Chains A and B, each alone.
Chain A
């Protein structure tokens, strides 16, 4: 069963320079217990997708079109109070750099209890505390952390506590937006392991957002590659790595170093992503595309085409091998 269906989602920000189309025609589904990855460079719209799912985008951002069907209900256009019920107890999020968002003068346990009180007003403090300790066990935190202040914890511990906070109201879907970006490799490895464990133990669905395709390879079952606000390739993670079809996906894979296998010459991708203001129609990757062919038609409107079982790629790359 699908826990989340995103259909033709469009989101744009109003700025002085014009309308920024940050999310353009994005569609994907997340099944129950599945983990879905979104990968792309900074500014490609990954975080904007995450924010639209919770409708937490900045004030100048607006969902202009599309549906977000969570657990059978379209949550686009719901009122603030209805949304509040979905947030945290339906979908929760671990933000990028969330570990720095703790209130420095309130103990960790109290901050988690605060969120729980909002969603479970009938539960006692003791019940909430038991729940928190149970979650700490899952994410690998000592029970003493409940009475600690944020400054007493290391970056990795704070991030674990954020994950516990995200789990505190029994969400069905967790969005992890670059949860390990500010951490070093060993801590990142531990956090990834905790997230995987949490997902298994609690049977959650996960949307994992990262710029690091290696992390996406390890963490997800299905994935989408985003470029300039659009999904350019989507499908089972194994299939996309084995058989990348979009030029941008290929470029990402060719520019990622690895510690295993033969040392290969990596390829860089020249140029920069296009401006999302008053975007022209047609293939947005064409100016940077290292695989351009004479047969290319860059003015063709972008559109995903199914080329294999659940494997979708932009129409421009669909005809190529």
Chain B
């Protein structure tokens, strides 16, 4: 068993929302409500769920873009060869640490600065972190463009994002992410805006890079078919909580939580003779069952490495 790169324990992220412009009543939205999982070195965890379930909030907290409310996140520290809480990181140490964590966003049209050429876009992280001299940096850009398949690099370096197709732009995003040699990359639906044929080449690229560079991914998507292709394990999220987590093939062939079943049964199958059966589920009812059982008990291991939320064992099943 590989070491864990990341351990997340009872992570919570709450947002305060006011009732209105003049209202004093404030309520709390529990976007992420006590989730725990591990990501081993070089492996990828898929985080699936509907819009608004807290996937992106989790991603932002793990990439240290937003502070957490409660709970803890531990990263493997190479210097001390032990797990270190992100709370212990400050100043220079934190900045150095951030290099290890990078993010790829959904929309390659909006996540690249339209006024910068490709070389400058990819150079930026190196400049910020002050890595090497200009010559080293330019060489690094050249190499990384080759790695992500934008060859010959000298043709792409002076170009601007609008001159590239969606797939090429997403390759630039990946290049910009990988130039920092991160250990952990958070991917927020990186292929959902791309055409099917291009999507596979981006997914293959990411899989190959994971193997070659030992990068771990947290891969966020609402499409289980994509998650199946990309991820070793899948965590299913519903209203801020993880309801089931297992190895990918185990989860798909043996789903236990009703929400997982609903999610799997809603994926269209590219085979006209396949009769997909919908698994009916009342989300409001499920939500109230989860809320009334919110004692934050740990999940139950029903099979090797297959965990299901306990509220469900007591509730619907």
Contacts and interface: CB of A to CB of B under 8 A. Distances in A.
A259 to B, nearest CB: 5
B225 interface: yes
Given A258-B225, A268-B201, A268-B204, A253 B270 contact: yes
A269 B197 contact: yes
Interface in B249-267: 249, 252, 262-267
Interface stretch (B18-26, B96-104, B134-142, B272-280): B272-280
Nearest to A219: B268
Contacts of B268: 188-189, 192, 212, 214-215, 217-218
Which of A215, A242, A255 has the largest number of chain B CB atoms within 10 A? Answer: A255
Nearest to B195: A41
Interface in A234-285: 237-238, 241-242, 251-253, 255-260, 263, 266-270, 272
Contacts, number: 110
B83 interface: no
A184 interface: yes
Nearest to A213: B270
B201 A217 contact: no
A185 interface: yes
Contacts of B1: none
B228 A185 contact: no
Contact of A185 (B165, B167, B203, B266): B266
B205 to A, nearest CB: 9
B222 A212 contact: no
A155 B51 CA distance: 10
A258 B262 contact: no
A67 B194 CA distance: 33
A42 interface: yes
Interface string B205-226: 0000000000000000011111
B270 A258 contact: yes
Contacts of A267: 200
Contacts of B226: 257
B131 interface: no
Interface of B is mostly: helix
Contacts of A42: 195
B133 interface: no
Which of B196, B222, B223, B229 has the largest number of chain A CB atoms within 10 A? Answer: B196
A188 to B, nearest CB: 7
B225 A257 contact: yes
Contacts of A258: 225, 267, 269-271
Contacts of A252: 196-197
Contact of B263 (A186, A215, A260): A186
A239 B199 CA distance: 26
Contacts of B50: 184-187
Contacts of B270: 213-214, 217, 241, 253, 256, 258
B56 to A, nearest CB: 12
A266 B200 CA distance: 7
Contacts of A268: 197-201, 204
23 contacts: A42-B195, A184-B222, A185-B222, A185-B267, A186-B262, A189-B278, A192-B268, A211-B195, A211-B196, A212-B196, A214-B269, A215-B268, A217-B272, A217-B274, A253-B270, A255-B196, A256-B270, A258-B267, A258-B269, A259-B252, A263-B249, A266-B204, A268-B197
Given A215-B268, A260-B271, A268-B197, 20 more contacts: A185-B263, A189-B265, A189-B266, A212-B268, A214-B267, A218-B272, A218-B276, A241-B272, A255-B199, A256-B270, A258-B270, A259-B228, A259-B252, A260-B269, A266-B200, A266-B229, A268-B198, A268-B199, A268-B200, A269-B198
Interface of A: 41-42, 155, 184-189, 192-193, 211-215, 217-218, 237-238, 241-242, 251-253, 255-260, 263, 266-270, 272
Query: 10 closest pairs, A vs B, by CB?
Result: A189-B266, A269-B197, A268-B201, A268-B200, A214-B268, A214-B270, A257-B225, A41-B195, A184-B222, A217-B272
